[in-house]
Amino acid sequence: MSAPLTVYTYKSCDACRQATKWLAAKGLPFVEKPIRETPPSPAELRAMLAHLGGERRRLCNTSGKDYRDQKFGEVVDALSEADFFARLAANGNLIKRPFLLRAAAPARGEAAVGLTGFAAEVWAATLGV
The string of pLDDT tens digits covering residues 87-109 is 999 999 999 999 999 988 788 87
Structural domains in the chain (count): 1
Secondary structure percentages of the chain, helix, strand, coil, to 5? 45, 15, 35
The model's pTM: 0.90
Asked if 116 and 98 count as a contact pair (C-beta separation under 8 A), the reply is: yes
Higher pLDDT, 5 or 105: 5
pLDDT at position 1 over 70: no
Domain range for 118: 5-127
CATH code of 103's domain: 3.40.30.10
Q: How many C-beta atoms surround the C-beta of residue 25 within 10 A? A: 9
Percent of the chain exceeding pLDDT 70 equals: 98
Asked if 19 and 123 count as a contact pair (C-beta separation under 8 A), the reply is: yes
The predicted structure's pLDDT at residue 4: 79
